Chains A and B, each alone.
Chain A
Amino acid sequence: MLIINCPYCGPRDQSEFSNGGEAHVKRPDGSKEIGDREWGEYVFIRANPKGLFYERWVHTHGCRKWFNCVRDTSTDEILMTYKLDEKKPNLNNFKSVVKTPSGEPEVGSGNFTVEK
């Protein structure tokens, strides 16, 4: 459950939004000849990283506008939202404030007995 900052409406509850998958995936120009593989990758293949991720969201129950965001997939923290025509931000500029809850023994598991 997040507060998402719609670039058009301001901060709103997550329940008003829908996720649209990876952002900045360019649709191949249909008028040009492209191979099955290239087209197949556009249709079916998306990145699924653990960590910072460019993502598309739409304010479904609001202004119906699409926008992009940078989200940390391991913590759900949304670091930035920006309009579609804005430049994609450099991921190196972001430092996730929230720590990741999974995997790392130091935080979150509550099981301190398991020490490597």
Chain B
Amino acid sequence: MKSINLKDNQFIQFHQKISFKFDGVKYFGYKGDTIASALLRNNINLVGRSFKYHRPRGIYTCGIEEPNALVQIISEYSEPNTRATIKKIYEGMEIESQNRWPSLENDFGSINNLFSPIFTAGFYYKTFMGPHKKFWKNLYEPLIRRAAGLGKPPKDFKGISNHIHHNVDVTIIGGGLNGLLAAKSFINSNYDVLLIDFEEQLGGIINNSNKISLIDNKEPKDWLKETIQEIEDSKNINILKNTLVTTYNYINHLIAIEDRFVGSKPIEGKVNSTLHKIRTGYTILCNGHIERFLSFQNNDLPGIMLSSSFEKYMCRYGLAPSKEPVIFSNNSNSNSLVYSLIKAGLKPKAYIDSRSGEKIEPNLFDLIRKNDVPLYTNSQIKGAFGNKKIEKILVEDSSGALNEIKCDCLCLSGGINPDVHLFTQSKGLLDWDEKDLTYKPSKPFQPTITLGSSSGQFNFDNLNSDINEKLKTFNVKKLDVKLELNTNTKYNIEKLWEVSPQKKSLWAKSFIDLQNDVTTKDIRQAITEGFDRIEHLKRYTTNSMGTDQGKISSINALGIVSDLLDKNVNEVGTTIYRPPYAPLSFSAIAGRNCYEFYDPERKSPIHSWHLKNGAIFEDVGQWKRPWYFQINKDESMHDAVQRESKNVRENAGVLDGSTLGKIEIKGEDALEFMNLIYTNSFTKMKQGSARYALMLGEDGMVKDDGIICKISDQHFIATTTTGGAATVLGCMEEYAQTEWPNLKVFMNSITEQYATFNISGPKTREIMKKAFPNINFSNEEFPFMTFQFHEFNGIPIRILRASFTGELGYEIYIPSNSARKIWDNIQSVGKEFGLAPYGTEAMHLLRAEKGYIIVGQDTDGSITPIDLGLGWMIGKSKKDFLGKRSLTRSDTIREDRKQLVGIIPSNKADKLEEGQHIILDKEIKSPVPMLGHITSCYYSSTLGHDFALAVIKNGHSMIGTKAYASTSSMSTTDVDIVKPVFYDEDNKRLVS
């Protein structure tokens, strides 16, 4: 195929040469070229190997519908399956062809073509059945994956995308003639309008063909320039170029992807694509039409392309892919290609039309006769032949005689389809048009308007009245545009789906889906085998299941099927087009919600101190909490946790508890509100005292716990678990607003406003005295479960005497900004008393020794306070609180509920495992009746052995008995069921 440049072109900058590499060879194109147009300029048409048979394939189209010319962009993280027909080249671009080995010219896989008679529809399903299931996974699938397929997955992908939201009244999709006219009528109106076009230049058919000669008595180019300027100047219209609408969701929600680096290499670290999420009142679809191909023997040879694509290369890219193409058509849409060729000083080698003379328009006849173009009416192409490129075609003329025509390019037109993908995604209904032989939009499901060829108007006859009628719901200007055409005025298609081959052969192939290598023979076979429903047939043959979704071929398949079944196409129906319209990358969908932005990290105000002091962190919700502190690199977690916990028991430890949820509750009715939210009663509680409290769901199950500080009847501060802070606040808000709106109460999160340090251990009082010399920490002045407000060096602090470790303990609440100062002070003061920081793991161990639960670890949403042995915390005299009534439901007063107990191994040297079952049989013989499971389990150096908390059926009455714990090695351990308190049972250390 010898191409020539047509230098009279406004879109290609012929003075600006661009070099790029294709399969390692350097070529030149011009600024504005796509990969496809640049390759055609270099007379390259073999660009890839097909999916299944590895047949040589060329550039078939000039747009998004391309089934064949998919390439791998090596210079962009090796992005696979890029359509060569839309991707623009840039200096230094590296491109590789796909699915070939060792080279595109000599592809080993093309041997598949020899065996093609056996690779028919359903071949995999029928062939790879036996002898054993494992063969598929271990042998067949890896083999097939190697042999078939398209590009290779990208490596080390670093593309960045962002998301932009739009909320507009009207979205116009497509900036072609109709899109521009629609936009024009919205100029300076009261509607917010978004005009979206896939290309860099608006204009569509005006740029892509020579169909239109004059618009409003102006050259189309000039009219276009003026109109675009008017639209750009209008304040209410926004234009998005290089943006493809891929998805049309419910309630007029559109998703569009914008390429930010058209014609240049994406810069690393910069946003290279934008995902637009558009919410619109109305959607006006002006996305035009797609030409379809025709099936005959070897209709996949490189050198065959769609006729409108050939014309687009001429008009839009200043390039005639061939000097003398043969044209084969069954409709008048290809007339303008003949006109364009002759206008450019070229002429078709032959014009073949399947229609009889009277259906062909007279002006085309004139054009063909005047220029001596060989004309074949009532004729069909029986096949195309050649080695890796088209060399000759076989034409059966009206008399039935066969003519051989030598040619290097063949342009096909099998008719055009409105681009209905988005319309059907919106759930609009299609209707078969028997005259125009295509599905056209009929009933929209959403506020969707279709204009121009996307609505099935293939002529320009009713241009003004159609637009004016369809836009009459809007208060906009009426259009009156005068259009003059160069060629056809009628579409005049005649039915032709497939031409049967001249010689019957097992190897003769007429393709119906180029991307997935489906032949018309596969369709016949599928129907013979009973797959006559179109959705079944699609899946059995994989027709139109490629990344192009059969844009140029799916209607042909319906036509063939309807002929075979002797049914109307409307009865056969069409398959559903699903989003996205064209593939879009995962990185575009993810947007900025990846890497460090995937989930925010929350850090305590003294995080940097932890980092410097060997903290190993644990994720608790979004928080980073010190898990344990390593005093040197060799210290194991076990050693560190035992050291930390022992130090708390013997000296003192400090824990950064800043992540604990803190909620401030204020208001006239705060007391009543707190009584309703928590199980405890706060009425008799003294000001300045604190209480451990439980929060239940309405089902009576423990949802959260915390310490409530009562400042006054109108002012409380509640702590929550680290992970439950947002839920608890949400729950309080919900009940305050929905159930008890009469209560005057307000609540807010103060989690991040205050840092919390928990100091505990026998030497804590000494340390506190030294750190805060003006405060009296004696047991009488500062008893257990009370709090005091103080000022320290001008910093307001609140100190609460409470403990989660079972030792004497204080919690200090400090405004976050001043927290580090006080933390440092405590560290330096505490040194002489052996104060050391401890992490969450030691905290867990210490609390478990005391039998303190952790909501979410020892409870799982099916445990009541009574199950936990915390019945004393229920304010029984209270009339109501969340979940109160549920505590007396028949299910919650059952005796065999799972209840919290302690577990210790009978033989102290034995180990216990978290999550293992407590059972009554020593031997594990399935089925094993299970009593319950271990919820928390630790080794305690204070006790000198393993111990655990567990929830087991009827646990409270089983205390003092023996049972067995299962192990991960499928054996059992003898255990004693004990009270869930292992240390300082009478709380002496806590309250003295």
Contact partner, A56, options B279, B445, B738, Cβ 8 Å? B738
B713 at the interface (CB under 8 A from A): no
A84 at the interface (CB under 8 A from B): yes
A77 at the interface (CB under 8 A from B): yes
B571 at the interface (CB under 8 A from A): yes
Contact partner, A31, options B253, B535, B879, Cβ 8 Å? B879
Q: Mark B877-901, 1 if CB is under 8 A from A, else 0.
A: 0011100111001100000000000
Q: Is B880's CB under 8 angstroms from A30's CB?
A: yes
- Among B561-583, those with CB < 8 Å from A are 570-576
Q: Mark A86-116, 1 if CB is under 8 A from B, else 0.
A: 0000000000001101000001101111000
Chain A hits for B773, CB < 8 A: none
**A66-B734, A66-B737 known; A39 and B889 CB under 8 Å?**
yes
Q: Is B734's CB under 8 angstroms from A39's CB?
A: no
B539 at the interface (CB under 8 A from A): no
Q: Which residue of B lies closest to A110 (CB)?
A: B576
Q: Which residue of B lies closest to A30 (CB)?
A: B880
Chain B hits for A64, CB < 8 A: 733
Q: Is B445's CB under 8 angstroms from A101's CB?
A: yes
Q: Mark A52-84, 1 if CB is under 8 A from B, else 0.
A: 000010101000111000000001110000001
Q: Mark B407-426, 1 if CB is under 8 A from A, else 0.
A: 00000000000000000100
Scoring B250, B533, B699, B881 by chain A CB atoms within 10 A of each residue's CB, the highest score goes to: B250
Q: Is A43's CB under 8 angstroms from B445's CB?
A: no
A10 and B443 alpha carbons, distance in the complex (Å): 32
Q: Is A30's CB under 8 angstroms from B879's CB?
A: yes
Contact partner, A107, options B443, B571, B698, B884, Cβ 8 Å? B443
- Among B232-256, those with CB < 8 Å from A are 249-251, 253
Q: Which interface class (under 10, 10 to 19, 20 to 34, 35 or more) fits A? A: 35 or more
Chain B hits for A42, CB < 8 A: 698
Q: Closest Cβ of chain A: how far from B716's Cβ, in Å?
A: 19
**A43-B699, A66-B737, A77-B251 known; A110 and B429 CB under 8 Å?**
yes
**A107-B427, A112-B429 known; A30 and B251 CB under 8 Å?**
no
B167 at the interface (CB under 8 A from A): yes
Q: Is B889's CB under 8 angstroms from A40's CB?
A: yes
A28 at the interface (CB under 8 A from B): yes
Q: Is B738's CB under 8 angstroms from A1's CB?
A: no
B739 at the interface (CB under 8 A from A): yes
Q: Mark B429-455, 1 if CB is under 8 A from A, else 0.
A: 110000000000001011000000000
Q: Closest Cβ of chain B: how far from A18's Cβ, in Å?
A: 8
Q: Is A108's CB under 8 angstroms from B427's CB?
A: yes
Q: Is A43's CB under 8 angstroms from B886's CB?
A: yes
Q: Is B573's CB under 8 angstroms from A30's CB?
A: no
Chain A hits for B576, CB < 8 A: 110-111
B534 at the interface (CB under 8 A from A): yes
**A1-B253, A2-B251, A112-B429 known; A28 and B165 CB under 8 Å?**
no
A56 and B890 alpha carbons, distance in the complex (Å): 30
Chain B hits for A99, CB < 8 A: 445
A2 and B886 alpha carbons, distance in the complex (Å): 37
A-B contact pairs, 12 of them (CB 8 A): A36-B889, A39-B886, A42-B698, A43-B699, A58-B730, A58-B733, A66-B734, A101-B427, A101-B445, A108-B445, A111-B535, A113-B573
Give 19 new A-B contacts, CB below 8 A, not counting A13-B165, A101-B445, A107-B429. A1-B250, A1-B277, A36-B889, A36-B890, A40-B889, A42-B698, A43-B698, A44-B699, A64-B733, A65-B737, A66-B737, A76-B251, A77-B251, A84-B741, A108-B429, A110-B424, A110-B427, A110-B430, A113-B534
